[in-house]
């Protein structure tokens, strides 16, 4: 089937550049070119020694964790409200919340820079980046949790109330367990997006760069290219790991609720 061949070729094309990473991360040469020169772990060792990188990573992790928490909480609120009854202005309100999905990030970066620095006169810090990242991650969280909440039978909450629970305990005992896989996915996705986000961080970074911003600074120097390859290898491996976990959770969540798997987050 020629369509099958096309699809496989497409997949290979998609992955080809990424596969170069481990290839050259262990390659004993400063120039990324064929033929390969020999095996070395020097570049990884160099990574372990670079203080600036460690600081950047720590920053990024902190920002990513906070972003994941905030955007998931906001996502739960919006998705829950969205799955419930229609209220006036619902479309517009949900639309506004989801707009960051279709806005070029540079607009968000520039707009927030203007407000933070020129209008409010606030200094830039990790928190500005956290607020900005939360803004762009919330739509993803909403999209993921929408699916989770819409799969719920709205009568279940009422049934729990009828059987003696309060609104909060009904949420805790019935809704939450069924939405937890969606929450976990949302946390992981938001975390990943924030970790990798560059342009907003670039515009809003204070004294402490995030990891992508740090990588950007490295790219200026040809000598640091292999180190970047090594770092890239680690990052990709980490992303794949996180995503696999997210996918396992998603599938487990569906099995728990007895819902058929339609594939994918969206």
Which residues, 195 to 224, sit near other proteins by CB under 8 A?
Answer: 196, 198-199, 202-203, 212, 215-216, 219
Separation of alpha carbons 218 and 228, rounded Å: 7
Buried b / exposed e over 88-126, threshold 16 CB at 10 Å, is: eeeeeebeebbebeeeebeebbeebbeebeeeeeeebeb
Interacting residue with other proteins among 61, 65, 69, 94 (CB under 8 A): 94
Applying CB under 8 A, the span of 37-45, 51-59, 61-69, 100-108 interacting with other proteins comes to: 100-108
Site string (243-262) toward other proteins, x via CB under 8 A: x---x---x----xxx--xx
Q: Residue with structure tokens 């600081």? A: 55
Question: What phi and psi, each to the nearest 5 degrees, are found at residue 144?
Answer: -65, -45
Distance of CA 168 to the CA centre of its chain: 29
Q: Which distant-in-sequence residues (6+ apart) come within 8 Å of 33 by Cβ? A: none
Among 45, 106, 122, 245, binds other proteins (CB under 8 A): 106
12 touching other proteins, by CB under 8 A: no
Yes or no: say if 145 and 182 are a contact pair by the CB < 8 Å rule.
yes
And the tokens for 259?
């819902």
CB of 48 to other proteins, least distance (A): 19
Which residue among 65, 69, 113, 124 contacts other proteins (CB under 8 A)?
Answer: 113
Stretch that binds other proteins, among 44-52, 61-69, 164-172 (CB under 8 A): 164-172
Of the pair 55, 105, the CB lying nearest other proteins is at 105
Q: By CB under 8 A, what part of segment 39-68 binds other proteins? A: none
Does residue 69 bind other proteins (CB under 8 A)?
Answer: no
Size of the site for other proteins (CB under 8 A): 110
């Amino acid at each position: 089937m020629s369509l099958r061949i096309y699809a496989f070729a497409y997949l290979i094309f998609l992955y080809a550049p990424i596969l170069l990473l481990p290839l050259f991360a262990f390659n004993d040469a400063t120039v990324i070119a064929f033929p390969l020169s020999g095996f070395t772990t020097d570049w990884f060792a160099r990574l372990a020694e670079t203080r600036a990188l460690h600081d950047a990573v720590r920053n990024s992790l902190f920002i990513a964790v906070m972003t994941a928490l905030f955007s998931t909480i906001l996502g739960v609120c919006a998705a829950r409200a969205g799955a419930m009854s229609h209220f006036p202005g619902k479309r517009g309100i949900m639309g506004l919340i989801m707009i960051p999905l279709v806005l070029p990030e540079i607009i968000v970066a520039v707009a927030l820079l203007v407000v933070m620095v020129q209008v409010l006169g606030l200094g830039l810090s990790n928190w500005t980046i956290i607020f900005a990242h939360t803004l762009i991650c919330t739509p993803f969280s909403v999209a993921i949790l929408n699916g989770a909440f819409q799969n719920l039978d709205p009568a279940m909450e009422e049934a729990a109330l009828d059987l003696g629970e309060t609104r909060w305990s009904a949420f805790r005992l019935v809704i939450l367990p069924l939405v937890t896989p969606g929450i976990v996915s949302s946390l992981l996705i938001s975390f990943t997006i924030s970790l990798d986000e560059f342009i907003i961080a670039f515009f809003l970074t204070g004294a402490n760069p995030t990891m992508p911003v740090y990588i950007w600074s490295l790219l200026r120097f040809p000598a640091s290219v292999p180190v970047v390859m090594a770092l890239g290898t680690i990052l990709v491996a980490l992303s794949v790991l996180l995503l696999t976990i997210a996918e396992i959770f998603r599938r487990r969540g569906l099995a728990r609720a007895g819902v058929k798997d339609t594939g994918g987050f969206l």
